[in-house]
Structure 1
Amino acid sequence: MRNLLALVGLAVIGFGGIGWYMGWYKLNVAKNTDGNIQITTDVDTKKVGSDSSEFLKNVSTVIGSHVDKAAQEAKTAAPSTAPGTTPGPLTPSQNGTTVPALPSIPSTPVAPPAHGGIPLLAPKSK
């Protein structure tokens, strides 16, 4: 709850700062002859409406250009083969033919990588 109130407070302060900077409203503080302070506000609603609609148009243009760019990159980066042509797992055939044997693992140890590491050893046969 405290975080929600902090978020609302940040939004109000942000809107107030942006509105003052953009000239959406003006605050006038004056002291009356009887000693009371008078605060008057002048809000330019036409400027607020035009600035916000221009901002939304710019945001939609930027988002649209990013979406178009991502779509173009996805088209150029698409694989040249269809995903259905990749080989799947080997299963025994139903008509009695044999499946080719898998390649064997060498029985000699493999040299360690140049960057160091653990050398790979072939499994012991029983």
Structure 2
Amino acid sequence: MAKSKRVIPKKRRGRPATGKDPLTALRLPPELTRAIEAWAAQQGDEPNRSEAIRRLVELGLTVRPNDRPKGKGQKQRAREIAGGTIDELTDLSANPDDQANRKRHLLKGPEEFRRVRVDRPSRKT
């Protein structure tokens, strides 16, 4: 009778796997790494860097993108940006009342287009 061959499993090199999830590596700029470490230091249990990154990613994924302020907040911000730009381009030779009047007319838009502007609520008549 022939001898049976005994199969010897090959030794695996490296650190044994600790979990079934795949490893995800990322490179971070030094200032982001410092911010993550500062956040981790403020936590009660002071997690290590990888645990802090995991928690921050979980926090980021729980926030829905639709939770951003809409409507009045965005409109107000757009109005502030437009007002700042108008202030930069204003005619300095005009008196302050004329400057304010011109700015108000520019922000409101021309009279003939006020009814058809999409960014403004329509008035009920």
Please indicate the TM-score interval, normalised by the length of the shorter structure: under 0.3
Which structure has the bigger radius of gyration? 1
More helix by share: 2
- TM normalised by structure 2 equals 0.22
